[in-house]
Structure 1
Amino acid sequence: MLRGIGGFLPPTTVTNDDLSRGLDTSDEWIRTRTGIRERRVVSRDLSTGTLAVEAGARALRSAGITGADAVIVATTSPERLCPAVAPEVATRLGLGTVAAFDLTSACSGFLYGLATAEGLIATGTADTVLFIGSEAFTTLVNPRDRATAPIFGDGAGAVVLRRGAPDEPGALGPFDLGSDGALADLLAVPAGGSRQRAADGGLGHATVPADDWYLRMAGRPLYTQAVDRMSQSARSALKKADWAVADVDWFAGHQANLRIVRAVAEELEVPGERVAVNIDRVGNTLAASVPLLLNDLAARGDLRAGQRVLLSAFGAGLSWGSATLVWPGLRAEPVD
């Protein structure tokens, strides 16, 4: 049951014109291909954990509570490979020694995290879960690559989930989750894990090409996969919830690319005025994308209690997920 929401964006804005000074690109080229005109990026004193703490604090305020039984942080840009950032986030929020762990599912992380949090509540492990999608992913994007550098932005979005009845506003409907590891290399950072190591035998001899520390993306096949998988997953979630497309007040799809969002909406036959968009201001913020979008809608007053929302996302893995949500009456703070 959704009981609170919050978001946070780093203060530094990078426009398309800013990027074009260092890349062979232009504002028009980026906008027509992605729908993005600017994005937020972390400075040296900000990181995934910092963003998560700020968003988490706002979600707790929105819920009107000061504690939680568990903290989950979905991120693909962790503070360190070890340990997880969630325990530190819990401590900095004053939540004490609660259960806390990270979850990695790239841009699908928010859907996977919602399902995980719901599972903790359903099994009685927790009554209240603070779930945060937080990303400083621009640190993993090659600033010289015009195919990826304009797409991503940094930020965090958080929700509070509590025990409740399935017919109450705030209830999350059935989930549809999926993956296809055979296509994992379509979107990946090759280095940094145990497969492609930073040094040979611990002697400090570098063995990894510099570009392998950055994201690699096969744009065309990813576009096709994203549209197909999100459309199929969203239809499945609607069927499980016994909703028709006409019942949907808002389609809140992962903000990867405006053309992808619109193509999925067209496949589902969701009218354009019901398609939520904020990618133009924030870019692709991965696991933070959907909660930031919901927070924007709620803060503007466009998302009202009782409205039906269809959530869907697609990302590296490959992974995807969808769910339905009846929006409760939440107070949401603007991120700007």
Structure 2
Amino acid sequence: MNWSNWLYLATGLGIGWALHRWVTSRPQATESDTSADVSSPEDEADRASLVRQLEHLQLQYQMAVQMCQFRAGFLSRVSHELRAPINGLIGSHQLILEGLCDNPEEEREFLGKANTSALKIIEILDRILDVARTQEGRTPMTLKVVPLGEILTKVGELTAIQAANRNIGLKIGESDPNWYVRADRHWLTQVLVNAIDMAITPVTPGDIRVSVEEVPARDDRPQAPHGDLKIAIDTYLPLEYWSEPIDFLHREQTADCSLMEDPELSAGMNLWLDITLLELMSGKLEILPLPASAAPDSGDASLTPGATRLQCLIPRAIPTAGTDS
């Protein structure tokens, strides 16, 4: 054998030995990696954490989409609210200018209606501007730790007469004296009064109940480290009462003058204002079907499926020695 044959032999042996080492070590490495993956509790915990985070992100995305859709109709809602009093104002003036009134007394009557419509326009604009200024920070909220019981007592005083005039029972449950919230006292009272006022209508069946309960801290509510206090306003009004189309400009206008004479904002506009104010206090407003277990005692089980609940979540606060309530 010459030197080239010895070289070929050495090269072949080297390649064979390398292949043997690679083939024999490959299954062992795979098995060790697989056993490490299966037996590692840290990896399982990481996977579970990622799944929970993904679920929270999906929930937050859905809530953000719903909120954007609700806010998308802001201009349409304002236009809808202003259209009725403006039509009343123009109609009253046209009757006078075209000489269709029989006597001066009738002219004064239409002038009075026009004045009422103008005042309603000012009232609507004032309420919207108040909320807008608060949202922009021009008139910032005064967030303090306040006892929820005091706010509910004030809300009951402001709404009791209206409920009694409509022969509607208003039952506000007692609040634990140790329950405090961090909120603006004035605006939180206004939000709850608005919610109850919306539920008090001429066609409201049964009673209206207001209850409070604790909600533990949740991962999707980082703004409430001590949990929330849930204020539930239960009523027999159907869910359709709170539902309005986003674009009011496409709705057919009728000659009904009831809207012109109604001094109150619509349910949709009130909801928009309340949702905006609660968000500024790190709160949340939801409209949910009333659970059968929470239905008021009315003696008519057929009303329960159509009942609804206005649910307000307010971050709970822990009072301190220097708390200014």
State the TM-score, normalizing by the size of structure 2: 0.24
Larger Rg over CA atoms? 2
The structure with the greater share of residues assigned to helix is 2
Structure possessing the higher relative contact order (Cα contacts under 8 Å, 6 or more residues apart): 1
| TM-score, normalization by structure 1 | 0.24
Q: Which has the larger strand fraction? A: 1
